[in-house]
Structure formats: structure tokens, C-alpha cells
Amino acid sequence: MLRQNWWKIICVVALIYTCIEGFLGSVPALPIINETIRNLYFHVAMWFGMMILFIVSVVYSIKYLRTNNHIFDIYALEYAKGGIVFGCLGLLTGSIWAGFTWGAFWSNDPKQLGAVIALLIYFAYLVLRNSMTDMDKRARIGAVYNIFAFAMLFPTIWIIPRMVESLHPGGMGNPALDSNDIDKRMRIVFWPGAVPGWTLLGVWITTLRIRLQLLTEKKHTSEPTKKKFSHA
Amino acid sequence: MTEESLRFAAKLSVIRAFSQIFALFRKDLLLEIRQQYTFYGVLLYVASTIFVLYLSMGEPEGPVWKGLFWMIQLFVCVNAVAKSFLQEGRGRLLYFFSITSPGNFIVAKLIFNAGLMLLMSLVSLGLFVLMLGNPMPNPVVFIFISCLGGMSLSLVFTFLAAIAARAQQSAALMAILGFPLVIPQLLLLSKISNIAFAEVIQGGLAGMIAVLVGLDVMLVALSLILFPFLWKD
């Protein structure tokens, strides 16, 4: 059991550590930001989780196109869905934080817009898949679009928001994740606790969903044979 | 085989690829010239849209003008490019599959659509200036920007038209897929347009043009890599 589940144990331990240290640990007292600085453990870790899940999704899409193995398509879809959930949570936590520090929950900041566009691109992936009924075609065209969408994600959230003025930490002289900027007390919670904890939780949820999908499919494919037997 | 003959064979295959691309491009062009549907259809679309805009808002200010221009370009692009794959019936696509490679086919389509959008961008820019006035201090620069923008949009929509055609859906699916994907490009184009609209040129715009061109190169590369997977059935 331990051989299979060691990463789930790490996930739980990391998340407990993150939550206890995140809410109770000492953080630098800064004006305006005050206690909202703790959002680093939740908001920023969501984007790490989202990006990692999207990367895994695109890897499975490439694998699908190379092997035509239907299971890889289910993997790609579920990882993309997991990434979307993390993206939505990242947007929500960021928006709440902005409400208390920037003075408005939504201020059309380039980083906020980039995140919304990225999510819209992935929603289009789900819509595209639902528009087709043929399973093979859905898998292949979905995989092609997923790779295309991932490539478009880079300018949307990594390049363009960095080129324009933004209130978001990490630009225009605002401190962010740079090792010189981040406080030592926060660094030991963020890197070993929050990032792996939330990412592993995303992977865990996704693997459960994949198992559910595989079981549902198995049930659907085995049903006709069962009927045959009952007739006999 | 000697090295020389290998080199000759490689040269021959390159020449063959170019001649196939040219033949496919010529076919699209001839169809367009004989049928005269896309060009005049889109022309009527652009002209009537801009006329409605003129009736409803007269001569708008710079930022509004710029926003309207790129929105109209987006819709023009969807309409102009949608036809490129949807017009090819199943039988005709099968025929192309048997005579050429997917790479050549998509390159020919990309070139044709880029050329079509180049023309449509210039036409709609002319109509915009004619009907909605010219709020730009540097209109000559904007000609280049609109050409670049039109071509960039056509690259995205050509690939999406291929996806939509394979999914056997109408142009509606293309619009649904395309609009989120082109927002980054439209944002970049809108920023770059400031070169033509502002008296003082802001810094960092050269970098944005570089990003846009880089994005276009990436789109062409992705189309070449991914189209073969859409191709086979």
C-alpha cells in the first residue's frame, strides 16, 4: 500500500503543514498587504497546480496522437479539467486578495485578463469535444486542439501580461517570488508545503476522476455482452 | 547511391513540394477568380457593416475607431477564411489526400488565406478611412500594421477552419473556438496600433511586434506539425 500511496501521504502532510503554518505562522508585517500576504500559500500555488496539470494534459494529448490509445485521451481530458478547476480557484483567490489590497475585486489588470483568456481557451476545448459524437474523431481533434491551445497559453499568460503595466506583484518593481523578495519564513512554507501539496491534491483528484471514467466506460462496453448472456 | 545523387534526390523532392504548393494555391486562386464569391461576398459584408457604423456613429474618436477596426477585421477574417475548408467536399478532400502531402496542402491554404486577408485588410482600411474619417496622425504606418494583423488573424483561423471542417460543423464552431484564441493577438494588435494613433511613440512597442511575429511563426509551425493528424481518418 505504501508503495502506491506514498505521494498521497506527502500531499496530506504538506497541506496540513501549509494550512497550519499558513494561518498561524509568522509573516512579515507590511502596510496595505497586512495579513493578506498569506494568500501566497493559496493563490500562487493554484497557478503552479494549474500549469502542471495543463502540461501533463498536453503530454497525454501528444501520447494519444502517437499511439492512438484511447486511455491517453481520457487522461488528457481529465487533467485539463483539473487544470481548469485550479485556474478558477486561482482567479477567485486572486480576486478576493485584490479586493482587499487594490481596492477592487476586478480592475482589468493584464494578469487578471490573461488568466480569464486562458480559461476561455480551455472552455473552448471542452465545447469542441462535446460538439462531436464519434469517439475516435473526438479524441484526435480534441488532442490537436489541446496542443494548439497550450501553445497559445504561453503568450496569453506568460509573455503579454509581462510587457504591459500591471499592479500585480512581480512587475513594475513590486516584489514577488524572486528569492531576494520572498521572506525566509514564507519560503519554507511555500516551496516545500504549498506548491507540492496543492499540485498533488490536483493530481489525486484527477486520478480519481480518471478511474471513474475508465470504470464507466468498462461498464458501457461490457453491458451488451451481459445482455447476450441473459438471453441465453 | 553516391552523395551527389542523394543531393539531387533531395533537391528534386523540394522542387516537387514547391510545385505542389503552387498548384494547390493556383487552384484556390482560379476557383476564386471564376466563382467570385468570397471576395465580393466579404466586400459586401465589410461595406455594409462599415456603412451601418457610419450611420450610427458618424466619425468616431481614435480609440473607438481602432477598436471597431479590429473587431470588424475579426469578423471579416472568420467569414473570409471559413470557406477555405468548408467548401472542400468529402470526395474532393479524399482526392487531395491521395495526390499530395498534408504539409503542402496546409501551406497552400495558409498562403492563400493570408493573401486574401491582406487584400481584405487593405479594402476595409480604405472603406474605414472613407466613411469613418481618419483620426490617425500616422496613417501610412497603420497600413503595414493592418496588413500584419490581417495575416496573423488568417493564420489562426485557417487552422481552426481545418479543425471545424473535420468536426463537420459549420462556421459557428470556428467562431466559438477562435474568439478566445485570438484575444491575445487582438490585444497585441490594439497596442501596436498606438504607433499610428499616438503623436508620441511609447516604448516597448518594438518588443510587441516581435512577439506578434514570433506568434505567427509558431502558428505556422504548429499548423504544419498538427495538420497531418487532422488529415487522416
Best to test chain A binding among B169, B170, B177 (most A CBs inside 10 Å)? B177
Cell of B47: 461595406
Q: How far is residue A46's CA from residue A41's CA, in Å, rounded to a whole number?
A: 9
Q: Is the pLDDT of residue A227 over 60?
A: no
Dihedral of CA A106/A108/A111/A117: which sign? Answer: positive
For B177, which of A113, A128, A155 is closest by C-beta distance? A128
Segment A56-61 long-range contacts (CB within 8 Å, at least 24 positions apart): A56/A203, A57/A83, A57/A146, A57/A150, A58/A146, A58/A147, A58/A150, A61/A142, A61/A143, A61/A144, A61/A146, A61/A147
Three-state SS sequence of B95-146: HHHHHCCHHHHHHHHHHHHHHHHHHHHHHHHHHHHHHHCCCCCCHHHHHHHH
Query: How much is the average pLDDT of A50-61?
Result: 96
State yes or no: pLDDT of A1 exceeds 70: no
Domain membership of residue A104 (yes or no) is yes
**A131 in any annotated domain:** yes
Confirm whether A17 is domain-assigned.
Answer: no
Hey, are the CB atoms on A144 and B226 less than 8 Å from each other?
yes
Chain A interface residues facing chain B, Cβ-Cβ under 8 Å?
65, 113, 117, 120-121, 123-124, 127-128, 131-132, 137, 140-141, 143-145, 147-149, 151-152, 155-156, 159-160, 163-164
How far apart are alpha carbons B48 and A203 in whole angstroms?
A: 52
Residue A18 falls within a domain, yes or no?
no
Q: How far is B213 from chain A (nearest CA, A)?
A: 12
pLDDT at position B7: 87
For residues A120 and A87, give the distance between their C-alpha atoms in angstroms, rounded to a whole number.
Answer: 11
pLDDT surpasses 70 at A174: no
* Domain presence at residue A231: no
Cα angle for residues B17, B217, B156 (degrees, 5° grid): 90
For residue A195, what are the contacts with CB-CB under 8 A and spacing of at least 6?
Answer: A45, A48, A49
Q: Is B187 on the interface with A (CB under 8 A)?
A: yes
End-to-end C-alpha distance for chain B, whole angstroms: 36
Measured between beta carbons, which residues in chain A are less than 8 angstroms from residue B166?
Answer: 137, 141
Q: How far is B129 from chain A (nearest CA, A)?
A: 29
What is residue A193's DSSP assignment?
I
Contact B184 A117 (CB under 8 A): yes
Report whether B139 contacts B95 (CB < 8 A).
Answer: no
B139 touches chain A (CB under 8 A): no
The pLDDT assigned to A176 comes to: 65
Chain B contact probe: residue of A73, A127, A144 with most B CBs at under 10 A: A144
Question: In the prediction, which pLDDT does A155 show?
Answer: 85
Pick from A121, A127, A144: which is nearest to B181 by CB? A121
Contact B113, B150 (CB under 8 A): no
Alpha-carbon span A114 to A31, nearest angstrom: 28
Structural domains of chain A, count = 1
- Residue A171 burial class via C-beta count within 10 angstroms: exposed 0-12, middle 13-18, buried 19 and up: middle
User: ipTM of this predicted complex?
Assistant: 0.88
A175 vs B188, residue with greater confidence: B188
DSSP A107: -
Q: How far is A28 from chain B (nearest CA, A)?
A: 34
Contact (CB<8Å) A124/B163? no
User: Is B176 in Cβ contact with A160 (below 8 Å)?
Assistant: no
Q: Which three cell numbers stand for residue A54?
A: 495543463
Tell me if chain A has a CB within 8 Å of the CB of B173. Answer: yes
pLDDT tens for each residue of A88-138: 999 999 999 999 988 889 988 888 999 999 999 999 999 999 988 888 889
| pLDDT bracket for residue A80 (50, 70, 90) | very high
Amino acid at B67: G
How many residues appear in chain A? 232
* Residue-number span of the structural domain to which A107 is assigned: 42-177+199-214
Residue-wise pLDDT tens for chain B (233 aa)?
678 888 888 888 889 889 999 999 998 899 888 888 888 888 899 999 999 999 998 888 888 999 999 999 999 999 888 878 877 777 888 888 888 888 899 999 999 999 999 999 999 999 999 999 888 888 888 999 999 999 999 999 999 988 888 887 667 788 888 888 998 899 889 888 888 887 776 667 788 899 999 999 999 999 999 999 987 76
Residue A186 within a domain: no
pLDDT at B82: 82
- Output the pLDDT for position B169: 65
| Three cell numbers, residue A20 | 497550519
Place of cell 493584464: A110
Residue A103's CB: how many other CB atoms inside 10 A?
9
